């Protein structure tokens, strides 16, 4: 009898609790919401985004403003000639292209197309300066190709900034063009240097060509992701995948150590930052 009374009291208590519960109990979707914009992992996505954008900006500015000195100061690379200097400055322009886009969409309040358009400015300025000063011609480059490349870049930037009806199609075509060109630079650098008309294709020039391409590929992926409507955090994360893969290949193959010796350890912080960004923002 005592057991029956106890069970009855327990049932009455449960009924009372159930009656007090609200008709609708909201569910929490924190993980799902974070995963849409990146950040489903343990690291803060905004902090990671600011860190990787800052690092890319510093590297890009160093290569863009002091292309002949940055390799030696930062990584101990010696014997940097005119060809390597030109390629390294172009690498800096592409890195700044990425940084401007990333900062613009993440922290600058820019639309995807505005960020893409402004991001191309360093490349436009780099090429036109070389064309007008005669430095590109002095290297033996194919001038027709250089002028055509510059015109395509200017037209793409204008279309992105103006929001022209054809801008989306043009930007996507630009990404394909850039991806193919820089993919060749990474996988077949000698052929790429031949195509651009560089007379010097020594081991150091080939190495610089590969390094340049990894930053340009990151910019191409970011551009393509943004113009396709991918969330800005995820777009930044996706764009760093080819850069991370390239740096890892450089290190694991021994190619990087062959070029910079003991300074190869300076690649490890890059790997850590890029990996954190990819796994925090892209996943």
Surface-to-core class of residue 22, CB atoms within 10 Å of its CB (0-12 exposed, 13-18 middle, 19+ buried)? exposed
DSSP labels, 128-157: HHHHHHTHHHHTT--HHHHHHHHHHHHHHH
DSSP code of residue 43: S
pTM here is: 0.85
Q: How many residues does the chain have?
A: 283
- 143-162 and 112-119 are packed helices; what angle lies between their axes, rounded to 10 degrees? 150
94: number of Cβ within 10 Å? 29
pLDDT at 8: 43
pLDDT by residue, tens only, the chain of 283 residues: 443 444 344 344 334 444 444 443 333 333 334 444 555 557 899 999 999 999 999 999 999 999 999 999 999 999 999 999 999 999 999 999 999 999 999 999 999 999 999 999 999 999 999 999 999 999 989 899 899 999 999 999 999 999 999 999 999 999 999 999 999 999 999 999 998 888 878 999 999 999 999 999 999 999 999 999 999 999 999 999 999 999 999 999 999 999 999 999 999 999 999 999 999 999 8
pLDDT for position 70: 96
Q: Which residue has the tokens 């009855």?
A: 8
Tokens standing for residue 272: 């850590």
Q: b/e per residue, 127-164, with b = 16+ CB within 10 A?
A: bbebbeeeebeebebbeeebeebbeebbebbebbbeee
Residue 41 is predicted with a pLDDT of 58
Tokens 């630009």 belong to residue? 174
Angle 217-218-224 from CA coordinates, rounded to 5°: 85
In three-state secondary structure terms, 44 is: coil
Angle, to 10 degrees, between the axis of helix 167-187 and the axis of helix 112-119? 50
pLDDT at 39: 53
All residues at 6 or more sequence positions from 32 whose CB lies less than 8 Å from its CB, including other chains:
none
């Amino acid at each position: 009898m005592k057991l029956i009374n106890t069970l009855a009291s327990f049932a009455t208590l449960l009924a009372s609790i159930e009656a007090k519960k609200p008709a609708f109990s909201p569910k929490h979707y924190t993980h799902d919401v974070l995963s849409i914009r990146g950040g489903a992992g343990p690291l803060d996505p905004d902090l990671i985004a600011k860190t990787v954008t800052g690092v890319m900006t510093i590297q890009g500015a160093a290569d863009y403003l002091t292309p002949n000195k940055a390799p030696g100061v930062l990584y101990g690379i010696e014997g940097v000639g005119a060809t390597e200097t030109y390629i390294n400055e172009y690498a800096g322009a592409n890195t700044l292209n990425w940084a401007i886009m990333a900062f613009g969409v993440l922290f600058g309040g820019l639309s995807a197309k505005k960020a893409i358009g402004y991001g191309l400015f360093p490349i436009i300025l780099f090429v036109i300066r070389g064309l007008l000063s005669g430095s590109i011609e002095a290297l033996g480059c194919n001038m027709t190709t250089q002028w055509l490349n510059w015109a395509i870049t200017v037209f793409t930037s204008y279309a992105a900034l103006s929001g022209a009806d054809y801008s989306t199609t043009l930007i996507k075509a630009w990404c394909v063009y850039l991806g193919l060109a820089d993919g060749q630079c990474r996988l077949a650098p000698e052929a790429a240097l031949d195509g651009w008309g560089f007379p010097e294709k020594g081991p150091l020039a080939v190495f610089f060509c590969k390094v340049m391409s990894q930053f340009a590929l990151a910019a191409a992926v970011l551009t393509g992701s943004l113009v396709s409507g991918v969330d800005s955090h995820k777009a930044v994360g996706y764009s760093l995948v080819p850069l991370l893969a390239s740096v890892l290949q450089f290190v694991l193959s021994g190619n990087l150590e062959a070029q910079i010796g003991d300074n190869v350890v300076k690649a490890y912080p890059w790997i850590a930052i890029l990996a954190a960004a990819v796994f925090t923002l892209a996943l």
